[in-house]
């Protein structure tokens, strides 16, 4: 509509671009603040200020504090499980290299990406307390899980696992173990060494290959 004035703005953004940038900055800040203070414990003012804006700007971009949180929950889940799948893909499962890489990933998530696990915990708590978003969270987790499942599936085939073993089941176990160990490391780092996750995966894959075929019936 009206021509953009050539004010000395950083990169000459159109209005739409500027708004999108504000939204993105607010979402980044929200992820940090919600992770550190919790959804209910964090105030919208804290989130807005962490992004360099005021509460008015926040409410011009999101309907409510809850809407901002739900946007994070459903559209900004940078899932580290996908990275695990890639680590498993680049090396052979059960080898020392894959184990080492996965161990490093776990320690990295637990020690460096300090906001990841608490934010996931906030999502999980919100979802089980507000069942209407349970499906949203499940859907968001399905995609990286599928990636993990694919990698596991081919690995199982390659190492000649019994036919009855379901890749879904193994993927569920691997993901649950990963999350559980990350949390345990935050409580007591010495109990979760860098080698532990890789070691556990080796046990699991060796155990699968060595097992007989009594297929676990998957389903509830």
- 178's contact among its own copies, DNA, none, with CB below 5 to 8 A by partner kind, is its own copies
Query: In angstroms, what is the minimal distance from the CB of 29 to DNA?
Result: 12
Query: In angstroms, what is the minimal distance from the CB of 10 to its own copies?
Result: 35
Query: In angstroms, what is the minimal distance from the CB of 154 to its own copies?
Result: 18
Please, which residue, 18 or 169, has the CB nearer to its own copies?
Answer: 169
The site for its own copies (CB under 8 A) is made up of 36-38, 40-41, 117-118, 121-122, 124-125, 127-129, 134, 137-138, 141, 168-169, 172-173, 175-181, 183-184, 186-196, 199-200, 202-208, 210-211, 216-220
- 19's contact among its own copies, DNA, none, with CB below 5 to 8 A by partner kind, is DNA
Please, which residue, 19 or 186, has the CB nearer to its own copies?
Answer: 186
Long-range contacts of 110-113 (CB under 8 A, 24+ apart): 110/181, 110/182, 110/185, 110/186, 110/189, 110/192, 111/185, 111/189, 113/80
The number of CA neighbours under 13 Å toward the Cβ of 128 is: 5
Please, which residue, 54 or 191, has the CB nearer to DNA?
Answer: 54
- 53's contact among its own copies, DNA, none, with CB below 5 to 8 A by partner kind, is DNA
Backbone angles phi, psi at 40, to 5 degrees: -75, -30
Query: In angstroms, what is the minimal distance from the CB of 138 to its own copies?
Result: 5
Long-range contacts of 174-183 (CB under 8 A, 24+ apart): 174/84, 174/148, 174/201, 174/204, 175/81, 175/145, 175/148, 177/201, 178/81, 178/84, 178/106, 179/117, 179/120, 181/106, 181/110, 182/106, 182/109, 182/110, 182/116, 182/117, 183/117, 183/121
Residues 30, 20 contacting (CB under 8 angstroms)? no
Query: In angstroms, what is the minimal distance from the CB of 34 to its own copies?
Result: 11
CA distance 219 to 69: 32
Please, which residue, 22 or 136, has the CB nearer to its own copies?
Answer: 136
The site for DNA (CB under 7 A) is made up of 15, 18-19, 22, 42-45, 48, 52-57, 59-61, 64-66
- 18's contact among DNA, its own copies, none, with CB below 5 to 8 A by partner kind, is DNA
Query: In angstroms, what is the minimal distance from the CB of 59 to its own copies?
Result: 21
Element (H, E) at 198: helix 196-210
């Amino acid at each position: 509509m009206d021509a953009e004035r050539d004010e000395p703005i950083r990169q000459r953004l159109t209005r739409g671009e500027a708004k999108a940038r504000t939204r993105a900055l607010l979402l980044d800040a929200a992820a940090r603040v919600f992770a550190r203070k919790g959804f209910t414990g964090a105030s919208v003012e804290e989130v807005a200020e962490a992004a360099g804006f005021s509460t008015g700007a926040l409410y011009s971009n999101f309907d409510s504090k809850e809407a901002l949180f739900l946007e994070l929950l459903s559209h900004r889940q940078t899932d580290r499980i996908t990275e695990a799948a890639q680590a498993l893909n680049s090396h052979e499962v059960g080898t020392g290299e894959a184990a080492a890489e996965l161990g490093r990933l776990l320690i990295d998530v637990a020690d460096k990406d300090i906001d990841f696990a608490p934010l996931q915990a906030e999502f999980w708590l919100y979802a089980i307390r507000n069942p209407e978003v349970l499906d949203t969270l499940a859907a968001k987790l399905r995609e990286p899980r599928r990636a993990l499942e694919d990698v596991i599936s081919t690995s199982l085939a390659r190492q000649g696992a019994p036919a009855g073993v379901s890749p879904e089941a193994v993927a569920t176990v691997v993901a649950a173990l990963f999350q559980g160990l990350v949390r345990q490391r935050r409580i007591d780092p010495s109990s979760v060494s860098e080698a532990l996750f890789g070691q556990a995966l080796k046990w699991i894959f060796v155990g699968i290959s060595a097992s007989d075929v009594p297929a676990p019936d998957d389903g509830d």
